[in-house]
């Protein structure tokens, strides 16, 4: 069974808005310093990754903005680690390449005032969209000297 094109467009628009709302909820939680709520907006795999890299767990990592790996300590901004510091635009269309989406995977694109753009992957866990980042991008971390 295929949907008519207008219904398919509405479904895609709803998926985008729901995924964007999840990212905005992450930003809001970080802004309010509610790191448990921010942590809950990450996929279970992403939570486990942060727990592995953080002394004291992932919530503590978000609160302190600090990770450790191989006896090295790194600082980070949670907004930059998972998106951009100050978003000004969210889009459903990639500036480059093609999105690889499924019924339980959504990609949205966020841009900051300087024109920096980043692709955010969200997956559906249960009935909510969560940010899914199964690896730590080292270029978003600052080594502590």
Euclidean distance between CA atoms 145 and 134, whole angstroms: 26
DSSP 75-106: E--HHHHHS-SSEEEEESS-SSS----BTTEE
Euclidean distance between CA atoms 124 and 115, whole angstroms: 28
Q: How many domains does the chain have?
A: 1
> What was the pLDDT predicted at 1?
52
Euclidean distance between CA atoms 2 and 88, whole angstroms: 35
- Mean pLDDT for all residues in the chain: 91
Residue-wise pLDDT for 29-55, tens only, equals 999 999 999 999 999 999 999 999 998
Angle at 133 between CA 10 and CA 16, to 5 degrees: 10
List, for the chain, all residue ranges whose pLDDT scores fall below the cut of 70: 1-3, 95-98
Range of the domain at 94: 5-143
> What was the pLDDT predicted at 2?
58
Is this prediction's pTM over 0.85? yes
């Amino acid at each position: 069974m295929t949907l008519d094109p207008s219904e398919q467009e509405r479904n895609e628009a709803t998926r985008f808005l729901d995924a964007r709302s999840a990212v905005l909820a992450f930003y809001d939680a970080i802004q309010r310093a509610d790191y448990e709520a921010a942590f809950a907006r990450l996929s279970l795999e992403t939570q486990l990754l942060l727990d592995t890299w953080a002394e004291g767990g992932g919530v503590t990592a978000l609160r302190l903005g600090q990770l450790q790996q191989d006896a090295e300590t790194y600082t980070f901004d949670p907004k930059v680690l998972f998106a951009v510091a100050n978003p000004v635009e969210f889009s459903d269309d990639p500036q480059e390449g093609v999105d690889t989406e499924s019924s339980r995977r959504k990609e949205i694109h966020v841009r900051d005032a300087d024109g920096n753009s980043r692709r955010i992957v969200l997956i559906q866990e249960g009935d909510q969209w969560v940010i899914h980042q199964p690896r730590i991008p080292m270029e978003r971390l600052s080594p502590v000297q």
